[in-house]
């Protein structure tokens, strides 16, 4: 429904204007947001009465779009329409701080149409998904092409505990401070979480406390269906691969060609668009199937896939350990075609990485076609384009490519888009969301997954390389508890109470863990960006502990180090951090990549190991050596490296904390995500399908049948 067909949509209700026939009496009804002086009606009806004092009959009429000026739009001096002024949403802070879902459900939601209007997004550039979320069409980039980019900031962290150190909370908190308290035009850009961790151990990923993206239930669950689209596309590719192998085994070249290019009733046959792409790859410059020679028909039709060269599994967005390794092809019609396969979690799919790294629809179409799904019996790559499925995958992904517009608790705008794993993938939200945000806001704050040795390094070396966007500042989130862990504190286990060493003041333990923070700051500075450290404060932190962290950060080269209390105070608690970010953005920076793509595969791996992890060297298994030889042969050697490693240590061993020295990095295997555009060396064992614990989060998740509200999410 077009919102303007019934008036202006305010706080989920339509503002209607009723006009009395003949008497021209007008009644206006509106429900206001806090601080909306222009429409302080508070939902009551104001009626113009007749001369005899009686309310006149009312009749609803339509309101044209220009009426939106009545709720804050203005006309600038040059006659061009200005956007609606930003109106922050007031928080009602409570102590003790309630659960995340309680806070989220108490939050006042502005209609997404208002969020868009405050940004300057036209209604025609939106696809609404209910009143509080929408997709933004890519055509907006054409309209805003000449507008300069805003400042680009990445939020990362020190090596975390299994609990996480609050990157998303900090990202949201500093955005709320910039927009709702300092009056800056700001956008948050973060990843969409997988439902696996949401129902597993970690819970949701909308932030926490008074720094969240809302509605948090939508954010953490289906949102607008992007992850489901990826699941469908990925599994269609898997089905196409197995079916192609089956049919090739049952038909000779001529029958196979005729089946792929059937004749119509007139005896005519043609190549589909994806087939023309395959012909071009094979160097066959013909567009009429009847003109191909028998040899060309054979080359075109028979992929000759090596059963041992299959590199494409299936995906599902659930933590299901029993699907990690499976046997497929057990039906009677597939007798003799049984083979091992397995499931990964959807966010580990290469299609998810493509969604995050693509720059437009045409680029996504090309990337999907380049995905390597297997090798043939000659050792050559077989792609999704070769299977003829790339066009269909693009159709399944055509809506998922559009970023999702949401809001924070304080009414600042947020894009939520893409959610690749930060170990086997690059762990960052989408390039497209960043590009649109940089045209709409003066400050764009995004987040990279896990610690800075994982997400930040990939943000710079992979994401920024493809986006050509230049970041100015990195915010490194540090916590006292994580630094104590790196100083030798007891093991931190999710779901179990912290040991006294973490809740009592212990300056000695904290001091021993500070080298971890120092190394992350030094690493960030190697990319030529300015560094601000955010000390994410917890109630048990003492002033002496916090000051020790601040001083260590400044000595390591951070431009500033600021204590932030955004979890308990929202944007108000992050004002000092936001001011430090603004100052850092104003200082000169000189962004650069860590390595040149023309270096060899080994040289790129060893540069990351030496400069980021501080390893003494790298050791390669025979399998990894064979992959390097294969990828050199296939021309994949110029791709960037996406190091697949644990996020809990600078090394490949999650148990080694702090800032270790004197170790070597083992490369067990190297795999290719050619469509996404990177190779990923495996450092030790990497699981791409998590499992559920004894007591998963889903025990607490339910529906209040009286109110219809979700309970138990966090």
Q: Which residue has the tokens 């305010």?
A: 10
The rounded distance, in Å, linking the Cα atoms of 513 and 659 is: 8
Rounded Cα–Cα distance for residues 229 and 241 (Å)? 19
> Which active-site residues does the annotation give?
167, 169, 191, 202, 422, 450, 538, 567
Q: Could you tell me the CA-to-CA distances from 381 to 311, 373, 409, 585 in Å, in that order?
A: 10, 8, 48, 44
Half-sphere exposure of 394 (CA within 13 A, CB side): 22
**Parallel, antiparallel, or unpaired for β 443-447 and 151-157?**
parallel
Pairing status of strand 702-703 against strand 710-711: antiparallel
Residue 155 carries which DSSP code? E
The DSSP output letter for 49 is B
For 83, the token pair is 């956007």
Q: Going by C-beta distance under 8 Å and a sequence separation of 6 or more, which residues neighbour residue 558?
A: 476, 521, 531, 532, 533
E strands present in 84-233: 126-128, 134-136, 151-157, 186-190, 207-208, 211-214
Helices (H), 358-440: 361-370, 384-387, 390-397, 431-440
525 contacts 489 by C-beta, under 8 angstroms: no
| Pairwise CA distance, residues 447 & 153, whole Å | 8
Q: What are phi and psi of 671, to 5 degrees?
A: -125, 160
In this structure, are residues 668 and 682 in contact, taking their beta carbons and an 8 Å threshold?
yes
Sign of the CA dihedral running 518, 520, 526, 530: negative
Contact assessment for residue 649 and residue 657, using Cβ atoms and an 8 Å cutoff: yes
- Helix axes 390-397 and 350-357, enclosed angle (nearest 10): 60
Q: Token pair for residue 35?
A: 């601080």
Q: Which two tokens stand for residue 271?
A: 């190549």
Closest CA to 519 of 483, 471, 564, 544: 483
**What is the DSSP secondary structure assignment for residue 153, as one 8-state letter?**
E
414 forms beta bridges with 188, 406
Contact 321, 696 (CB under 8 A): no
CA 693 from chain centre, in angstroms, equals 25
Residue 624 tokens read as 């990894």
How far from 64 is each of 277, 321, 396, CA to CA, in Å? 48, 55, 36
Distance CA 464, CA 467 (A): 5
Q: CA dist 402 to 41, 152, 269, 383, Å?
A: 36, 20, 36, 25
User: Is 519 within 8 Å of 659 (Cβ atoms)?
Assistant: yes
What Cα–Cα distance (Å) separates residue 618 from each residue in 205, 516, 654?
Answer: 34, 21, 17
Residues 6+ apart with CB under 8 A from 568: 93, 95, 97, 209, 210, 539
Q: Strands 134-136 and 404-408: what pairing? A: antiparallel
> Which tokens go with 448?
């990279």
Phi, psi of 534 (to 5 degrees): -105, 115
3-class secondary structure, 478: strand
């Amino acid at each position: 429904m077009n919102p303007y067909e019934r008036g202006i949509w305010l706080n989920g209700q339509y503002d209607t204007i009723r006009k009395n026939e003949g008497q021209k009496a007008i009644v206006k009804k509106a429900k206001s947001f806090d601080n909306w002086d222009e429409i302080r009606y508070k939902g009551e009806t104001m009626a113009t009465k007749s001369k005899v004092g009686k309310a006149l009959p009312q009749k609803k009429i339509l309101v044209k779009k220009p009426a939106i000026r009545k709720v804050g739009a203005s006309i600038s001096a040059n006659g061009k329409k200005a956007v609606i002024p930003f109106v922050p949403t007031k928080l009602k802070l409570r102590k003790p701080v309630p659960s995340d879902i309680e806070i989220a459900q108490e939050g006042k939601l502005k209609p997404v149409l208002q969020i868009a209007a405050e940004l300057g997004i036209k209604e025609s550039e939106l696809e609404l998904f209910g009143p509080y979320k929408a997709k933004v069409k890519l055509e907006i980039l054409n309209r805003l092409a000449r507008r300069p980019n805003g400042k680009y900031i990445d939020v990362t962290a020190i090596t975390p505990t299994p609990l996480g150190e609050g990157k998303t909370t900090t990202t949201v908190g500093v955005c709320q401070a910039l927009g709702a308290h300092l009056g800056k035009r700001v956008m948050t850009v973060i990843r969409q979480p997988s439902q696996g961790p949401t129902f597993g151990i970690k819970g949701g990923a909308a932030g926490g406390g008074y720094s969240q993206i809302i509605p948090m239930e939508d954010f953490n669950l289906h949102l607008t269906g992007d992850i489901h689209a990826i699941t469908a596309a990925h599994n269609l590719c898997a089905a196409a691969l197995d079916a192609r192998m089956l049919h090739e085994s049952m038909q000779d070249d001529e029958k196979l060609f005729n089946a792929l290019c059937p004749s119509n009733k007139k005896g005519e046959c043609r190549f589909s668009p994806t087939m023309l792409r395959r012909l071009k790859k094979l160097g066959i410059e013909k567009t009429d199937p009847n003109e191909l020679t028998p040899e060309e028909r054979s080359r075109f039709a028979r992929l000759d896939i090596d059963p041992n060269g299959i590199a494409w599994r299936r995906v599902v967005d659930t933590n299901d350990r029993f699907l990690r390794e499976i046997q497929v092809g057990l039906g009677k019609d597939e007798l003799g075609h049984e083979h091992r396969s397995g499931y990964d979690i959807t966010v580990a799919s290469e299609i998810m990485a493509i969604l995050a790294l693509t720059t437009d629809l045409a680029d996504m179409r090309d990337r999907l076609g380049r995905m390597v799904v297997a090798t043939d019996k000659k050792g050559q790559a077989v792609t999704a384009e070769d299977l003829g499925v790339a066009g269909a995958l693009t159709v399944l992904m055509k809506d998922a490519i559009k970023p999702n517009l949401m809001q924070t608790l304080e009414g600042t705008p947020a894009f939520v888009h893409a959610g690749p794993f930060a170990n086997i993938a690059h762990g960052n939200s989408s390039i497209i969301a960043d590009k649109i945000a940089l045209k709409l806001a003066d400050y764009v704050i995004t987040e990279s997954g896990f610690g800075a040795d994982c997400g930040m390094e990939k943000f710079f070396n992979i994401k920024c390389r493809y986006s050509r966007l230049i970041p100015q500042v990195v915010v490194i989130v540090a916590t006292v508890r994580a630094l104590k862990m790196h100083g030798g504190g007891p093991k931190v286990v999710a779901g179990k109470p912290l040991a006294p060493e973490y809740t009592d003041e212990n300056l000695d333990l904290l001091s021993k863990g500070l080298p971890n923070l120092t190394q992350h700051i030094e690493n960030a500075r190697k990319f030529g960006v300015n560094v601000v450290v955010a000390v994410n404060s917890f109630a048990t932190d003492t002033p002496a502990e916090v000051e020790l962290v601040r001083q260590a950060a400044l000595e390591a080269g951070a431009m500033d180090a600021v204590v932030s209390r955004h979890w308990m105070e929202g944007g108000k608690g992050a004002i000092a951090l936001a001011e430090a970010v603004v100052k850092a953005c104003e200082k000169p920076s000189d962004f650069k990549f860590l390595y040149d793509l023309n270096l060899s595969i080994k040289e790129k791996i060893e540069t990351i190991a030496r400069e980021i992890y501080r390893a003494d060297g790298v050791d390669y298994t025979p399998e990894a050596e064979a992959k390097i030889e294969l990828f050199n042969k296939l021309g994949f050697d110029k791709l960037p490296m996406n190091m697949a490693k644990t996020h809990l240590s600078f090394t490949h061993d999650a148990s080694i904390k702090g800032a270790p020295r004197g170790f070597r990095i083992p490369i067990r295997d190297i795999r290719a995500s050619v469509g996404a555009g990177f190779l990923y060396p495996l450092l030790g064992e990497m699981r791409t399908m998590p499992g559920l614990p004894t007591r998963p989060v889903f025990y607490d998740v339910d529906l209040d049948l009286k109110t219809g509200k979700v309970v138990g999410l966090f």
